[in-house]
Amino acid sequence: MFNKIVRFIFFGNYFVGLLAVALSLEAVLQLRLPFNSLNYYLLLFLAPTIYYTYAYNKVSNQPSATNPRTQWYFEHKRFVNRSQLILSVLCMLLALNLLYHNLNHILALPAVYWMAIIVIIVAAALYYGLLPKSFLRFNLRNTGWLKAFVIGFVWACCANVLPLIMLKIETGIDYHDSVLWTWLFVKNWMFCTVNAIIFDIKDYPTDANRHLRTFVVRYGLRKTIFNILIPLLIIGLLSLGVFASYKGFGIPQSIFNILPFILTIYIAYSMHQRKNILYYLMVIDGLIFFKAICGIVGMQFVR
């Protein structure tokens, strides 16, 4: 029973929706901004859940003895299709409710906000090739090493850009500390990029057969871990130390912001051993959730 619940949460991408909400809450607290509406957080949970489920469901039409996630989608095809319909209807109702109550504010958004919205939508659509091939065949997932940076960029936008856009729509509040915002955006971008590179280790055989030149395919597992992942994380730690000193972070806040980098270095070092798909979904994706929780807890020590 427990195993079925775990597979439902992680294979069904509900944990991905939780990650999006957790990162958004972390960003709002770190920027010391008011929380967005419940309507927005429900939308934020549902949208990535539907998005990732659609992407996996459309390629899982055959049983698989080697991929438990593909097999789960094949066995639960009817349930997944029905849940997608229900969640999509709920998502649409929430979006319409948001539009109804904030239409004038949405139409009055400055051009820079509209540019950010367009960039996020285009990147998210191209990432999994969700646009019709008759319209555009380009798929950012097939760009090799760029794929991890695109994933990190989309997640950083989800965490640090969307809350500001929604805050502007719902309350009219602007955010003006560009230094702190930029640093948090880049930190999320790089952390999620490293997470995506670790995740690519799972797809190494498939990516190699497809000639998709990810970091792991191009440089091999050992060089990816020791020459790319760990150096990037160490650079992140050093930059965190410099920024913490510049902003006057207290010791508890600094420690809680350091912990996710330390744990990720340990996990990256352990990746020379083969892991199953649930390990990646629970532990590797769990690093992002752990970072969000640490960021939220760290802000409780700020006066």
What digits encode the pLDDT tens for the residues 149-187? Answer: 888 898 999 999 999 999 999 888 887 778 888 888 989
Mean pLDDT of the chain: 85
Tokens 């949460």 belong to 9
User: What is the maximum span of the chain, computed from C-alpha positions, in angstroms?
Assistant: 55
pLDDT at 127 over 70: no
If you ran DSSP here, which 8-state letter would residue 229 be given? I
What residue ranges do the domains of the chain occupy?
2-301
If pLDDT is split at 50, 70 and 90, which confidence band does 145 have? low
Give pLDDT, residue 93. 97
Q: For residues 146 and 14, is the Cβ–Cβ distance under 8 A?
A: no
* Whole-angstrom distance, CA of residue 184 vs CA of residue 62: 42
Q: For residues 192 and 157, is the Cβ–Cβ distance under 8 A?
A: no
Provide the b/e sequence for 2-35 (b: ≥16 CB within 10 Å).
eeeeebeebbbbbbbbbbbbbbbbbbbbbbeeee
Q: For residues 193 and 157, is the Cβ–Cβ distance under 8 A?
A: no
For 23-77, what is each residue's pLDDT tens digit? Answer: 999 999 998 899 999 999 999 999 999 988 987 777 666 776 677 888 888 888 8
Tokens 């060089």 belong to 223
For 177-221, what is each residue's pLDDT tens digit? Answer: 788 888 889 899 999 999 988 887 777 666 656 666 677 777 787
Give pLDDT, residue 132. 52
More confident of the two residues 145 and 248 = 248
For 244-258, what is each residue's pLDDT tens digit? Answer: 887 778 888 889 999
Give pLDDT, residue 270. 86
Token couple for 263: 């744990």
Q: At what angle do helices 285-298 and 251-269 cross, to 10 degrees?
A: 170
Backbone angles phi, psi at 106, to 5 degrees: -65, -45
